[in-house]
Amino acid sequence: MQQQKKGVSVWFITGAARGIGLALARQALAQGDAIVATSRTLASLHLVFDEENPNVLPLEVDLVSETSVQAAIEKTIATFGRIDRVVNNAGYGQQGTIEALTDAELRRNFDVNVFAPLHVLRHVLPYLRDQRSGHIFNVASIVGFQGGYAGWGSYVGSKFALAGLTETLAVELAELGIKATVVYPGPIRTGFLSSESLVVAGRTIDAYTEAKASLDLHLNGLDGKQAGDPEKLAALILHVAATAEPPVHLFAGKIANALAEEKMLTIHKNLAAWRIASDATDFTE
């Protein structure tokens, strides 16, 4: 077991072979922290990390397998003795209308985007609880707050679930000295919209023209042109991790901020318009 110097944090980052996870891992290393980088294959991690660096522990993990996740957490503790920052970053986009998506497509998306982070949390929290410290970052998406996108219901639902779980975590863990933050990035210039990452439903229904237009826009108009910089997002997460009172909700990027404000304005308008009728549903005793 390596003894970590005072002030050095140990990061456990899923989906660390590329995109946001890779940017975050590299920046954490650059500031002197230790990282545990997980991916579906060791080969992908060996391509981007120095195998001789004692502050890097690359792990091949099947996040859908609770046994694989448990083994990764135990290996982390055996190697570094602690975990300070947990970043549930791995996930993928599933496109398809609610009517067209199969049960298998929906369940696979939720397995990776929701139940995999839950595997990590169940096995890491006992260590954080014993330490009475730690910070969990669950990387959602702005669609986990503002979900009005035709053809993205599965992905939207999974990210809403992750956001809600984080809200509960923040309350549950506060007394233990553990922080929880849900990150809502806007469009980030990673491989998320590439054919290697985005999964399109096997069935399409021609009547859903808005969903088809949205898919075409994302694949042909936005891929590689997203406004968000993964390096700057990683720097923001590092900044928040060093803050004494981090936010539970962290929006990232101008698009995310604008969409969040738009959603809150709509909610305020709905509340105001229906307040009298809504209040009247209570008992009048």
**What is the per-residue pLDDT for 196?**
56
Rounded to whole angstroms, the Cα distance separating 19 from 175 reads 33
Rounded to whole angstroms, the Cα distance separating 7 from 177 reads 17
Catalytic pick from 75, 92, 159, 269?
Answer: 159
**Has residue 268 got a pLDDT over 80?**
yes
Catalytic pick from 75, 149, 155, 269?
Answer: 155
> Is 212 considered catalytic here?
no
**What is the per-residue pLDDT for 3?**
60
CA separation, residue 216 to residues 95, 189, 212, 228, 274 (Å):
11, 17, 6, 20, 37
Rounded to whole angstroms, the Cα distance separating 271 from 285 reads 23
**What is the per-residue pLDDT for 36?**
98
Average pLDDT for 230-242: 95
**Has residue 251 got a pLDDT over 90?**
yes
CATH number of the 10-277 domain: 3.40.50.720
What six digits make up the tokens of 70? 């448990």
> Is 225 considered catalytic here?
no
Question: Where does the pLDDT of residue 188 fall: very low under 50, low under 70, confident under 90, or very high at 90 and above?
Answer: confident
Whether 186 and 260 have beta carbons less than 8 Å apart is answered as: no
Give the predicted TM-score (pTM) of the model: 0.93
3-state SS, residue 34? strand
**What is the per-residue pLDDT for 217?**
72
